Structure 1
Amino acid sequence: MENKEHTLVTRLVGSLVSYMRRFLFRVLSVGPVPNHLAFILDGNRRYAKKWNLGEGMGHRAGFLALMTLMKYCYELGVKYVTIYAFSIDNFRRRPDEVQYVMDLMLEKIEGLLKEESIVNQYGVKVLFIGNLKLLHEPVRIAAEKAMKATSNNNQSILLICVAYTSTDEIVHSAQECCDEIRSSMKVNEEKDVKSDLIKLGDIERHMYMGVAPDVDILIRTSGETRLSNFLLWQTTDCLLYSPKALWPEIGLRHIVWGVLNFQRIYPYLEKRRKKQL
């Protein structure tokens, strides 16, 4: 009997919290809602150390935090969510640590495809961004499978940056532009030389992140203010927010505070963006 009462109370509290959150989001939606939020997931290992958790448990706690924040973002009406999951530079860490993260990534990618996952609940299209050929083969295959399985979803977009750095992205784009010009010149050798110059639009078109608009809010946890080679091109005019909470500790209040600050400076950001058009 006590267990049933406890379950009932838990459900009632959960429903009340969900209602209050949705009401809060409706209030926030009176102002401009960011279209694209990006996250640097900083502090997983420090969180594990802080609470004396086992090896890799900080990353598992970080994944749970990610699922919760994605839910908040999609309820608020944010279309694009981008996360910095694994940098190219991270491959320089201890082999056993890299292998653990790859194994965990494989496990969580497969979990995203389950019927009850947030991906299916919110109609999320999953895109993996970066130099994917650097990933361990099982992870790369799972990533390709996830992208194919969610390709018809269009309600929300989750971009997962793995084997990614912004400088690698820019170099990749420049190389693609050069290859495109060389191919074009082979087809028409008499083409005007001036038309073979690389333009800004060409660079942006070949970016890994060319599938999404520029970022509105970039959140990096742990109080760090460095971009760490993440979305350097796409964060020219956005709000940078650095809460002191470690990544697994991030919660609703941080999202709300970030959106409120975005709404406060929105006229300034829009003015800057219009000048660049």
Structure 2
Amino acid sequence: MPLTEHAVWLRDKAIDRLRNVLFGVLRAGPIPQHVAFIMDGNRRYARSNGMKLIQGHVDGFTALRRVLEICSSLNIKVVSVYAFAIDNFQRPKEEVDGLMNLAERALLELCSHGGILAEHGVRLNTVGRTQLFPPEVQAALNKAKELTKNNKRSVLNLCMPYSSRDEIANAVEESVQNALLEGRIECVVVHKDIEDRLMTAKVNTPPLDILIRTSGVKRLSDYLLWQCTENTQIHFVDTFWPDMGLVDLLPIILDYQRKIWAQ
């Protein structure tokens, strides 16, 4: 027998109350300040559900909104997501064009009045070579950053189009150029020279506490390689990104808290 409208309302209220209690309990413990995601599995999710590939990416955007809401409720200050790799431009033109159209729409939706960035006070940063994007996507990115620049509660770093090797190489190049401009005969590049010139450093991103990759694949795929220090906890989950939610995040946060308490 289907639930009545009143029964559905009661069920949803009970679920919301339970979630709020759970978030309150988690917030009582140590909370990571910076969590990054490799949003993997959109295409396999689409194929396994008999969908067009672009629908997998659309559902992946829905998952991003869901995960951002959870992270905001937990007071996680910075979320970084691998939204588009530089190598993704090599995918079939139809898929790339679809992704560019989706990116433009999604960016405007994220920062619109009543959108999740405005609702939760999230400032949007971009990390990557955005000049490689079509003009309309660049315009959407600039508009989103402008509309959210005064949001102070938390930060979303969209890494797109991004490559960690490109980021590190660019930081080394800038370090060498800086040494030459200062007239140093012996150009010695040290760890801090590179770290200070990383793209993430330029948007004041704190150290990476947790890196999560979905879809069961166990590799970093050229994402935040420098930032994954000995203090970063790396988690690989089997869930496809479009299905990612609280059930997947809960054990990761609890594991983080357990390890912090054990130190």
Fold-level match, TM-score > 0.5?
A: yes
Partner of 1:207: 198
The answer to whether structure 1 residue 261 and structure 2 residue 255 are counterparts is yes
Distance 2:102 2:71 in 1: 24
Partner of 1:170: 168
Q: Which moved more, 1:172-181 or 1:154-163?
A: 172-181
Counterpart among 158, 161, 165 of residue 160 in structure 1: 158
Partner of 1:119: 117
Distance 1:80 1:193 in 2: 40
Q: Deviations over 1:235-257 (max 9, x none)?
A: 12211111111111111111111
Whether the 8 Å CA contact 2:32–2:209 is kept in 1: the answer is yes
Partner of 2:54: 56
Larger radius of gyration: 1
Q: CA deviation at 1:197?
A: 2.9
The answer to whether structure 1 residue 83 and structure 2 residue 77 are counterparts is no
Any idea what SS the aligned residue of 2:165 has? helix
Q: CA deviation at 1:64?
A: 0.6
Partner of 2:228: 235
Distance 1:62 1:178 in 2: 39
Q: CA deviation at 1:29?
A: 2.0
Partner of 1:65: 63
TM-score (norm 2): 0.92
Distance 2:189 2:144 in 1: 33
Q: CA deviation at 1:22?
A: 1.6
Distance 1:16 1:121 in 2: 23
Whether the 8 Å CA contact 2:122–2:153 is kept in 1: the answer is yes
In structure 1, list runs of 5 or more residues that go unmatched: 186-191, 272-277
Whether the 8 Å CA contact 2:47–2:53 is kept in 1: the answer is no
Q: CA deviation at 1:258?
A: 0.6
The answer to whether structure 1 residue 221 and structure 2 residue 219 are counterparts is no
Identity %: 35
1:174 is matched by which residue type in structure 2? V
Q: CA deviation at 1:199?
A: 2.8
Any idea what SS the aligned residue of 1:160 has? strand
Counterpart among 241, 244, 268 of residue 238 in structure 2: 244
The answer to whether structure 1 residue 143 and structure 2 residue 138 are counterparts is no
Whether the 8 Å CA contact 2:120–2:153 is kept in 1: the answer is yes
Partner of 2:38: 40
Number of equivalenced pairs: 259
In structure 2, list runs of 5 or more residues that go unmatched: none
